[in-house]
């Protein structure tokens, strides 16, 4: 990677954190082919799973978490669902975003969150008491970027309305998934004694 490319990448990351709408528009302007967008999603999922396993493996608690393959499949499935919902629900609310750009949004957002996850792992290894603060900052950064990226994707004006719609969709999806699991006879851990 050349010096200019490194500077451009740093600039895109900085812009995505400070001005998410403009950051996402700058990423869109790269005009990546659809295959590269899917690759971005795949790489961000894999990096996220690797980082999620780092602390449990280092602390000897790897047997308490799902297998890497299961975690990758769950994370990948959640990303696919997010792409579908971003594209289609956004259009239901009058948005103009394309499916290919929803792929890019999810991939780029996940990559930004992998960066935050790496910072959190580093802080947990060096200064464990500050890990919770980094986690709170990562959650805030996620909603900040998600709302801005979605406004840029669909041409929406209100970040607050985007967040409300996203939370409503999240609750609706969780309700439907719970109902489907009950119909299939899948027992949710901890619910057996209720």
Total length of the chain? 194
Rounded to whole angstroms, the Cα distance separating 65 from 71 reads: 9
Dihedral sign (CA 145, 147, 153, 157):
negative
The tens-digit pLDDT sequence of the chain (194 residues) is 554 544 588 899 999 999 999 999 999 999 999 999 999 999 999 999 988 888 777 666 767 777 888 888 888 998 999 999 999 998 988 999 999 999 999 999 999 999 999 998 888 888 888 888 988 999 999 999 999 999 999 999 888 998 888 888 888 888 887 877 787 776 554 444 44
As a dihedral over the C-alpha atoms of residue 39, residue 44, residue 46, residue 52, rounded to 10 degrees, the angle is: -170
**Which residue is associated with the tokens 């990448």?**
9
DSSP H or E run through 118: helix 99-126
Buried b (16+ CB within 10 A) or exposed e, 41-69: beebbebbbbbbbbbeeeeeeeeeeeeee
Instruction: Give pLDDT, residue 187.
Output: 55
C-alpha separations of 18 from 110, 121, 154 in Å: 16, 23, 19
Residue 4 pLDDT: 53
Whole-number pLDDT of residue 174: 82
Q: Domain limits of the chain?
A: 7-156
Taking the C-alpha atoms of residue 48 and residue 113, their distance in angstroms, rounded to an integer, is: 8
Query: What's the whole-model pTM score?
Result: 0.83
The DSSP symbol for 157 reads S
């Amino acid at each position: 990677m050349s010096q200019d490319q490194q500077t451009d990448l740093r600039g895109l990351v900085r812009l995505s954190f400070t001005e998410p709408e403009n950051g996402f528009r700058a990423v869109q302007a790269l005009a990546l082919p659809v295959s590269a967008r899917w690759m971005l999603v795949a790489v961000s999922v894999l990096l996220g799973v690797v980082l999620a396993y780092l602390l449990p493996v280092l602390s000897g608690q790897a047997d308490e978490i799902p297998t890497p393959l299961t975690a990758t499949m769950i994370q990948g499935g959640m990303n696919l669902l997010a792409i579908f919902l971003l594209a289609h629900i956004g259009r239901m609310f009058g948005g103009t975003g394309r499916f290919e750009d929803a792929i890019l949004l999810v991939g780029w957002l996940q990559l930004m969150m992998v960066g935050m996850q790496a910072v959190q792992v580093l802080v947990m290894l060096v200064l464990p008491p500050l890990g919770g603060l980094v986690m709170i900052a990562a959650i805030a950064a996620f909603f900040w970027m998600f709302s801005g990226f979605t406004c840029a994707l669909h041409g929406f004006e209100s970040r607050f309305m985007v967040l409300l719609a996203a939370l409503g969709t999240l609750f609706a999806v969780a309700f439907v998934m719970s109902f489907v699991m009950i119909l299939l006879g899948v027992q949710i851990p901890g619910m057996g004694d209720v």
